Amino acid sequence: MSTARFKGRWLPWLFLLPTLIILLVFLYYPVIQTFRLSFYRVAFLGLKTQFSGLENYIDLAKDSTYHHTVWVTVVVAAAVVVIGLSVSLAIAMLANQKIRGASVYRILLIWPFALSPAVAGVVFLFMFSPGFGVVNYITSLITGTELNWLGNPRLAILLVIMASVWKNLGYNIVFYLAALQNLNTEVLEAASIDGANAWKRFRHVTFALLSPMTFFLLITNITYSFFDVFGMIDILTKGGPLDATNVMIYNLYRDAFEYYKTGLASAQSVILFLLVVGLTLIQFRTSGRQVHYGG
């Protein structure tokens, strides 16, 4: 069996050069600059920089407002991941049933993922806005009062969580549906013959066989909940009210592009990066042990 070989030693690198240039300019260089600037005090638009060591990190460690931002981020991320995966799996189980028009239902379930976070934010903004939002109109008919979803801190964070979960449902459902349609049916049939009811078959067989896909979605949803909620928060609440929805990625954006605290924003970016990497490694060491391939 012959294998294709490049005639010249440098020809493969020549083909890779455009990709490497793009990665260097738009990925590696900004990452290196972010780590570097986190140790500097940066004047407006970077006109002057002064080395400050760990001062930016120390300021963040002492800032109670930033502590609150970290806590809000953890709450939103945990809610989006747990609720999102649970609801997605439940819907995927229903969509996997052999019924007439199943393909149409599946397409309708998946389409929210095609929307950008900003568009999803606009949809929820119109639905929950005081005065003319359809949700407030329905609640006023039922209860006689309108809920201030955008002005109440508890309702605002709930709205962000609901919008974030809805936006990513299609992504999770696609992968869960693919996994369900490729399960080993012989194992499920054996469990049924042994007398296991529907709940036991799901808990001990189906969910175990889905562990590789669940683990994959767990990692991707963690990343999504830390970064991709920015667009919805910017449209819906802009971090308010009273910083109730001011997550780390949005606080970073405000410090960098509204208050021009470039050094402080760079330090926040590094902390956010390390936090996500740390959580991912923990997931690999803990949840990864429960993953079983080829069941």
pLDDT in tens, 235-279: 999 998 999 999 999 999 999 988 888 999 999 999 999 998 898
Q: Is the pLDDT of residue 233 over 80?
A: yes
Check: CB of residue 254 under 8 Å from CB of residue 239.
yes
For the beta carbon of residue 35, count every other beta carbon within 10 angstroms.
14
Q: Using the Cα atoms of residue 29, residue 31, residue 32 and residue 35 in order, give the sign of their dihedral.
A: positive
Distance CA 238, CA 251 (A): 10
User: Which secondary structure element, helix H or strand E, spans residue 111, and what is its range?
Assistant: none
266 with 213: CB under 8 angstroms? no
Do 80 and 165 form a contact (C-beta atoms < 8 A)?
A: yes
Q: Residue 78: its pLDDT value, please? A: 95
pLDDT of the residue at 165: 94
CB distance 128 to 136 below 8 Å: yes
pLDDT of residue 198: 76
Note the pLDDT of residue 205: 80
CATH topology of domain 64-290: MetI-like fold (1.10.3720)
Please tell me whether residue 41 adopts helix, strand or coil conformation: strand
Three-state DSSP state, 42? strand
- Res. 144 pLDDT band, cuts 50 70 90: confident
The alpha helices in the chain, defined as continuous H runs, are: 11-23, 29-37, 55-62, 64-95, 102-110, 117-128, 134-143, 153-180, 185-193, 198-201, 207-209, 211-227, 230-236, 248-257, 262-286
Question: What pLDDT digit, counting tens, does each position of 16-39 carry?
Answer: 899 999 999 999 999 999 999 999
**Spans of all domains in the chain:** 64-290
